A and B are shown apart, each in its own frame.
Chain A
Amino acid sequence: DPKQGNILSFFKRV
């Protein structure tokens, strides 16, 4: 099954 991605791996903290 595909694994749920995480927002923090796409958008970085500023």
Chain B
Amino acid sequence: MLELRLVQGSLLKKVLESVKDLVNDANFDCSATGFSLQAMDSSHVALVALLLRSEGFEHYRCDRNLSMGMNLNNMAKMLKCAGNDDIVTIKADDGGDTVTFMFESPTQDKIADFEMKLMDIDSEHLGIPEAEFQAIVRMPSAEFARICKDLSSIGDTVVISVTKEGVKFSTRGDIGTANIVCRQNTTVDKPEDATVIEMQEPVSLTFALRYMNSFTKATPLSNQVTISLSSELPVVVEYKVAEMGYIRFYLAPKLEE
């Protein structure tokens, strides 16, 4: 038996909106640690890892580890029916073939339940090694989204370079080139407006902008995004999910042959 009650149901709505276009079907894993998901896009270029820790739920009952295969587009359709202020409860029986999403309005005057069919998905869990990153950039998520959107109107790939000057996002296309440099800026009124660059050594990597743009659909989850880079390793683009966890997108770089 599984019963997870999330007071801030809008977090789950936002999580689904951020992954539904990247991944079609995925297993949600439920354990004492929390509610998690790890899945690749169909071309195995990107991987998404979500963790919502059990402590972040108002009520968290998971009698035994459970893996629930869901079509993320269908799950997003159901969660779209929850109000932004609604409390969302996820319920499932051990060995059952459905999951129920219950939506309660804050004043308890409207209660809805949506039952969705589960699916069998071959689970492919990847081991993600702990990496020492050459550079970690923390910046406003809206700024990062704006940069990815702007650059994708010029080119298909972005070169992200971190030096002691700052972080540079560059692209080139048929009509020309573009370079955007963001410098460290910690003298801001609000901490979420800061740009912080931790560099062990300079690093430069090339990525497909199409995927970066897809990751920025997680922008509503967090004011800040963290971009972790190491030579010839997938970049990690991380958005915190309130105080309860994270959504991390891993993107394989484009490498010289």
Task: Please list the residues of chain A having a beta carbon within 8 angstroms of any beta carbon in chain B.
Answer: 1-14
Contact = CB atoms under 8 A, between A and B. Distances in A.
A7 B257 contact: no
Interface of B: 40, 44-47, 124-129, 157, 206, 208, 233-234, 250, 252-257
A14 B125 CA distance: 6
A5 to B, nearest CB: 4
B257 A3 contact: yes
A6 B206 CA distance: 13
B47 A3 contact: no
A13 B126 CA distance: 4
Contacts of A13: 124-127
Given A2-B257, A6-B252, A11 B127 contact: yes
Given A10-B233, A10-B234, A11-B47, A5 B126 contact: no
Nearest to A14: B127
A3 B83 CA distance: 43
B17 to A, nearest CB: 22
A9 B129 CA distance: 13
Contact of A5 (B124, B128, B129, B254): B254
Given A12-B126, A14-B127, A7 B208 contact: no
Contacts of A6: 44-45, 252
26 contacts: A2-B157, A2-B206, A2-B254, A2-B257, A3-B254, A3-B256, A5-B45, A5-B234, A5-B254, A5-B255, A6-B252, A7-B40, A7-B46, A7-B126, A7-B250, A8-B126, A9-B252, A10-B233, A10-B234, A10-B252, A11-B128, A11-B250, A12-B127, A13-B127, A14-B125, A14-B127
B126 A11 contact: yes
Contacts of A12: 126-127
Contacts of B128: 11
B54 to A, nearest CB: 22
B126 A4 contact: no
A4 B208 contact: yes
A11 B47 CA distance: 10
Q: Kindly list the 9 A-B residue pairs having the minimum CB-CB distance in the complex, ordered from nearest.
A: A5-B252, A2-B254, A11-B126, A14-B127, A7-B47, A6-B44, A7-B44, A3-B257, A7-B252
Contacts of A1: 254
